[in-house]
Amino acid sequence: MFLLGLTGSIGMGKSTTAQMFVDHGCALWDADAAVHRLYAKGGAAVAPFKAAFPDAVIDGAVSRSALKEIIGRDPAALKQIEAIVHPLVGQDRATFLAQTQADIVVLDIPLLFETGGDARVDATACVVTDDATQEARVMERGTMTREQFLAIKAKQMPAAEKCARATYVIETDTLEHAAAQVQDIVKEIRSQLHA
């Protein structure tokens, strides 16, 4: 089994690119989706959060907005929150890997390099587009202001640095170009696996 870490900053086209790998028969584990599962009603994170931050659990689920408020009041709480979430996310990933039959597993991890996740995969792929396209994509979603987008972007590792560290760089300027690059990467990995 080959583990490919997929990363890219907000608005770079990572989710669309991840689906292209699935279309080629790769399995996909999504870190953000794992957190959503853990935070949902009945999720594994609910009980530990109820114990550590009772205000963060609303209607039996962990509230992201409540967590933001808690971190806003006490920035040191972030370390405690990460100490609860990271091991649970790791368990979710391990369970997924134990159950999949795929030859290539794509691990979609937004903060792959920032969290040292690149050390746990066989190769990395970074999706990238130009600044103007990135901003236009995020603004089209209508979920945040330009100020919020710029604040998130400022917290993420610069795209150029991610690309420099990545095994593969996938340009998402057009869907066709991105799809062709994904196909080439899958072909290259499979040729190594079955050599």
**pLDDT the model gives residue 74:** 92
DSSP code string of 20-70: HHHHTT-EEEEHHHHHHHHHSTT-TTHHHHHHH-GGGEETTEE-HHHHHHH
Residue 32 to residue 38: CA distance in whole angstroms? 10
Q: What are the pLDDT digits (tens) for 11-38?
A: 999 999 999 999 999 999 999 999 999 9
Residue 52 to residue 48: CA distance in whole angstroms? 6
Domain that holds residue 52: 32-101
Domain total for the chain? 2
Q: Look at the chain and count its residues.
A: 195
| Residues 36 and 3 both lie in one domain | no
| Residues 44 and 119 both lie in one domain | no
| Residues 14 and 43 both lie in one domain | no
- Residue 183 class from Cβ within 10 Å (0-12 exposed, 13-18 middle, 19+ buried)? middle
**pLDDT the model gives residue 154:** 85
Which alpha helices (H) appear in 100-172, and where do they start and end? 131-141, 146-155, 159-165
Of 101, 126, 142, the residue that ends a domain is 101
Q: Give me the torsion for CA of 73, 74, 78, 81, rounded to 10°.
A: -80
Any idea what the CATH number is for the domain that residue 110 is in? 3.40.50.300
What amino acid is encoded at 150 in this protein?
A: L
| Residues 86 and 156 both lie in one domain | no
Q: What is the pTM of this model?
A: 0.90
Question: CB count, 10 Å around CB of 72?
Answer: 9
Q: What are the pLDDT digits (tens) for 62-89?
A: 999 999 999 999 989 999 999 999 999 9
**pLDDT the model gives residue 156:** 84
Residue 68 to residue 71: CA distance in whole angstroms? 5
Residue 103 to residue 26: CA distance in whole angstroms? 7
Mean pLDDT per block of 10 residues along the chain (195 residues) reads: 95 95 98 95 96 95 94 92 94 97 96 92 97 93 91 87 96 96 98 89
Of 101, 116, 132, the residue that ends a domain is 101
Of 48, 82, 101, the residue that ends a domain is 101
